[in-house]
Amino acid sequence: MEIELLAYTPHPEGVVYNAARLCYSSKGIRELIREEGASPKRLIEQIKASGHHSVLEHASFTFGVEGISRVTTHQLVRHRVASYSQKSQRYVAERDFQYITPPSIEKKEEACVIFHKVMEVCRDAYHQLLEIGISKEDARYLLPSCCETKIIVTMNARELLHFFSLRCCRRAQWEIRNVAKEMLFLCRRVAPVIFYDAGPPCLKGPCPEGPFSCGQTEEVREEFSWSR
């Protein structure tokens, strides 16, 4: 898996900070931006705590994600407040498709044999369909969901905080969790104040998952201590 932060709003925290100050000031925008205000850190923390989250929407982040499965992009694109561009299986032939093998299968020899055998069968069948004139858009119906794909994703900071709270949680599947953790790592480098406490809800309080809780709050807090 490879994830790159391709672009982001310049000075994301400055933009969010000024948007928040504007809401509480009678000054003109130019004047407001020129003058020093309260500390950005304090104000951004305040707006996050108060629920005035719309100001976080002024900062956007665009990621290039490669080497993940379509299982995971299917989960990713359920997040609606975002923009996506994904490699098309209608237009791009998947003759030599690569695929993601889950670690649970990888470490069990017997499971590996079954899994890789089926991949070979899929590859062969896909080739054969193209050979006999079936279009790529129809031949792809037999491709497995573990097929490797690439996708460009843009989310604003508000959506990213929501995304990280759901997908960095141990209830999320391992692959999307890895994606979310890497995205959080990249966001933290360029907007540490906004993303200071981003991650699963148990970083900030009790786990809200009730009977579905992983029961590993301490380990999760330790796991995310790098991000704080």
Q: Which residues bind ligand FAD (CB under 6 A)?
A: 78-81, 159, 162, 166, 171-172
Contact yes or no for 65/1 (Cβ under 8 A): yes
Based on the residue annotation, tell me whether 123 is a catalytic residue of this protein. Answer: no
Report the residue number, 81 or 114, with the smaller CB distance to ligand FAD. 81
When the beta carbons of 43 and 168 are compared against ligand FAD, the nearer one is: 168
Residue 100 is classified by DSSP as P
List the beta bridge partners of residue 99.
147
Catalytic entry in 158, 167, 170, 188: 167
The distance of closest approach from Cβ of residue 62 to ligand FAD in the complex, given in angstroms and rounded to an integer, is 16
CB of 12 to ligand FAD, least distance (A): 19
Instruction: Name the minimum Å distance from CB 83 to ligand FAD.
Output: 12
Q: Which is nearer to ligand FAD, 171 or 189 (CB)?
A: 171
- Contact between residue 190 and residue 117 where contact means Cβ atoms under 8 Å apart: no
Q: Which is nearer to ligand FAD, 29 or 81 (CB)?
A: 81
Measured CA to CA, the distance from residue 125 to residue 130 in angstroms comes to: 9
H runs (alpha helix) in the chain: 12-23, 29-34, 40-50, 70-76, 103-106, 109-131, 136-139, 157-167, 174-190, 217-223
Would you mind telling me the total number of residues written for the chain in this entry? 228
Catalytic residues: 167
